[in-house]
Amino acid sequence: MLRPLILAAAVSLAAALAGCTPSAPGFHSTDITGADYGKQLALKDHTGKARTLADFRGKAVTLFFGFTQCPDVCPTNLATMAEVMRQLGPEADKVQVLFVTVDPERDTEELLAQYVPAFDPRFVGLHGSLEETAAVARDFRVFYRKSGDTSGNHYTVDHSAGTYVFDPEGKLRLYVKHGETAENIAADLKRLLAGR
């Protein structure tokens, strides 16, 4: 009778002590480590060079899907990422920000070359054909579609607004919701760069 009571007391004590031990702080963004999507990226950058995720191995990579004529979400995201880079200081050289256009009909290489690096010269714009864009978006589970006046060139594009983050080993690790602060994103990137 005494032995089960001692065992129960020991288990309770262990549980109580575990509750007192501070756990390691988590990411501010959603941890999607082990996700079975977001593995393929084969597009051209805004200089015409063919790019894949492997080209950026050794750096943390952020990947956002948008379009240059976006009135709010896309420029806000890129401005936030520019602030993230500023906050990272010298560590920003270990981060690559990628912007994939979901409007390849209007977002030419030349336009991307003007638009994306205007936020930070290290940022890279990526584009592909309609089919290549659709394939990459499908692999990343990104939604996009033209809306408004789709008969001409004055349409808009509805699209997913989150950012994917890869660690320096090229593994998909985080999903950053639109509107996350630069401070929180910078903190998450620092954790990834530290090998966490």
Q: How far apart are CA 55 and CA 49, in angstroms?
A: 11
- 20 is an annotated ligand-binding site residue: no
Query: Which of 81, 68, 71, 142 has the alpha carbon at shortest distance from 108?
Result: 68
Query: Does 154 count as an annotated binding residue?
Result: no
Q: Return all residues near 18 (Cβ < 8 A) that are at least 6 apart.
A: none
Q: Is the dihedral of CA 31, 175, 63, 191 positive or negative?
A: negative
Angstrom distance (rounded) from CA 138 to CA 82: 27
The CA angle 144-146-151, to the nearest 5 degrees, is: 165
Distance CA 88, CA 120 (A): 13
Q: Are strands 50-52 and 42-45 parallel, antiparallel or unpaired?
A: antiparallel
The Cα–Cα gap between 91 and 3 comes to 56
Q: Which residues are annotated as a binding site?
A: 70, 74, 159
Annotated binding site for Cu cation: 70, 74, 159
